[in-house]
Structure 1
Amino acid sequence: MLSKSPAIDETTPAAELDIDVVLHRFDELTGTLYEIVTDRAPRALARRQLTIRNFEARLRWTHGDAFDALDLLQLCCEEVAQALFTNVDNAPDSRGRAKNELLYRLLTRACLTTSEIHAQLRTGHPLGARARWRTLHEIHVVLLVQPLTDPRSSLSPSPIHRRPHKRSALLA
């Protein structure tokens, strides 16, 4: 039935197109495309999963314990954020509460960013992971600039973070 109708291509003027012929042709092509995709999908998915597994293996071989360190970083951020969350209402003044809330939000953002980095590296997106790593670095810089409320607190940074870097001490 379709062979008796005029051919449809990119040079056919819009005024000459019969809507029924166009819809029938569209249905034929859509059905064919659907069959092609469903036939090829299992093989394509298997190839993609193999690529991802190989990528993970190469990353682990290249970077060794970096994934474990990334997991540890996420765990530390979660623990400190949880401690801040429990101490938000215990701050003596509103400024302390605001600072605790700010630090809590920054640390939860760091947890989320670390998780995104991990996921992007495991799925083979190193450029996206690098961009998220820059975001994590920016969060780290803000956390270092923003001192914690009580220096005696168990949440305050270690003395290493309060001490100037050796090189900057030499330049001063």
Structure 2
Amino acid sequence: MNTITLTEINERIIYKILHLHLYFYIDIERGLDMNLKGPMKEFYSELLKHIPENIKEENVTNFLDNVIEKMLNETTPIMVDDLRKSQGEMLEDQRLLRAEFEARLHRRWSKPLALLETLIVISLESSEELYKENISIAKSKSNIKFEVLIKIHARACQISYEILALLRSGFADGAMTRWRTLHELAVLSFFISQNDNDVAQMYLDYEFIERYYEMLEYIKYAPILGYSELPKEDIDELTSKRAELIHKYGNEFEKPYGWTLNVLDKKNRNFKALEENIQLDHLRPYYKLACNYVHLGPKASSFSLGNIEGSKIIIAGASNYGLANPGQNACLSLTQITTCLLTSYPTFEALMTCKIMDKFSSEACELFVEVQKQIELEEDNYIDELEINERFNCHH
């Protein structure tokens, strides 16, 4: 079998091996002249020292694999130390860029974002007042619906603040995914409000069914994850509670959406059926859009709310565009959830608050759309100007 010297090694083999390991192409003959810096230059220099002067061609791949694997283990700590030394400056630059971006975004979107925040504050304060005034009455009359609506509303306020934070930072897709949950809570609020105490109790009891099946997953994977075993008494208690609920409500109760069995048909127990039952299914197109950013479907990788239609940019961070859909949807859903709660014990003040929130919500929706259309108009004008300049340059 022929042997070859270092300078005769097939460059394509070298390229392939180094590209697989280092994710960049390098020329074995001129590697030290490629402006490599710091640890990478040291890595390359050391690599050359380990390659024998004479080597069989068929052994090049295996040889370099072994050498590179060994050297990666040795040089990784060097690169980590180098990054630690420079991370302060690097992060300071990035934080400055982000602060400047968020300041520009705030100037453009300040009015609708302020209205969204106002809605959240009104919702929080009005529900707190309602809770203080009626919790004793609700407990004395075993008003389970009120308990459920309070829990839903508290979670909705938290999610609304999350949406606000994401919008302020320019993450429209993320805000849309959180609105997806807010919409689910709105649907749940209407469903609980429109049905009796038994449905509300079944909803609360269904938590034990979820916990039981979560427990089974934990038991299965705890050894792999290195987690401790669950105490036997905890397993027995949850297993017993599940059996008790199945005996009380029937075998259908432990199935998905089993807590709706008194209302929804057996073959139609799912979230879509809930939407249709309370006539909120007209928002389903937005819900399906939001699902793209939660699950692993391909659309989320090719379509982003932060991208203007026709743009070929792949967004890997924040954008000042696309806040309209999640913003206005959040206003709408929070208002719906708050209305369900406030009307559980209606007073003149509570009804007035519902009207005020509806007014602010409508105004915020209009402003979100207005700002987004203004960005689209500016983009169109910019493209037109570029095309005019291009035609002008072609003629001269």
Consecutive unaligned residues of structure 2, counting only runs of 5 or more, are 1-41, 52-60, 195-342, 356-396
1:82-126 CA-to-partner distances (Å, cap 9, x unmatched) read 1343222322411x2x12211111211121121011100111101
Instruction: Kindly report which structure 2 residues correspond to 1:1-172, keeping only aligned pairs within 5 A, or say none.
Output: 3=46, 6=50, 12-14=64-66, 23-60=73-110, 65-86=111-132, 87-91=134-138, 92-94=140-142, 96=143, 98-145=144-191, 146=193, 148-151=343-346, 155=350
Q: Is the 8 A contact 2:126 2:353 kept in 1?
A: no
In the alignment, is the contact (CA less than 8 A) between 1:67 and 1:118 conserved in 2? Answer: yes
Q: Under a length normalisation based on structure 2, what TM-score does the superposition of the two structures give?
A: 0.32
Distance 1:23 1:138 in 2: 48
* Matched-pair contact (CA < 8 Å) for 2:102–2:169: yes
- Rounded Cα–Cα distance in structure 2 between residues aligned with 1:110 and 1:83: 17
- Residues 68 and 58 (structure 1 numbering): CA distance in 2 closer, same or farther, change over 3 Å? closer
State whether residues 156 and 185 of structure 2, in contact with CA within 8 Å, keep that contact through their aligned partners in structure 1: yes
Q: Which residue of 1 aligns with 2:368?
A: none
Structure 2 distance, partners of 1:136, 1:111, is 9
2: CA distance between counterparts of 1:126 and 1:73? 19
Q: Is the contact made by 2:113 and 2:164 (CA closer than 8 Å) also made in structure 1?
A: yes
Give the match's secondary structure for 1:90.
helix
Are the equivalent residues in 2 in contact too, given 1:117–1:129 (CA < 8 A)?
Answer: yes
- Distance in 2, Cα, partners of 1:88 & 1:153: 18
Larger Rg computed on CA atoms: 2
CA distance in 1, matches of 2:354, 2:109: 34
Q: Distance in 2 between matches of 1:25 and 1:152?
A: 70
Residue 82 to residue 29, structure 1, CA distance change in 2 (3 Å): same
1:100–1:18 CA distance, 2 compared to 1 (3 A): closer
CA spacing shift, 1:39–1:156, aligned 2, 3 Å: closer
Distance 1:153 1:101, change over 3 A: farther
Displacement after TM superposition at 1:69 (Å): 1.8
Q: TM-score normalised to the size of structure 1?
A: 0.66
CA deviations 1:119-166 (Å, max 9, x no partner) are 001111011222323433343344344154445585468898xxxxxx
* 2-structure distance, mates of 1:149, 1:44: 48
Letter aligned with residue 99 of structure 1: K
Aligned length: 150
Q: Is the 8 A contact 1:150 1:156 kept in 2?
A: no
CA RMSD of aligned residues (A): 3.4
Check 1:59–1:150 CA distance in 2 against 1; reply closer, same or farther (3 A cut): closer
Per the alignment, in what secondary structure is the counterpart of residue 124 of structure 1? coil
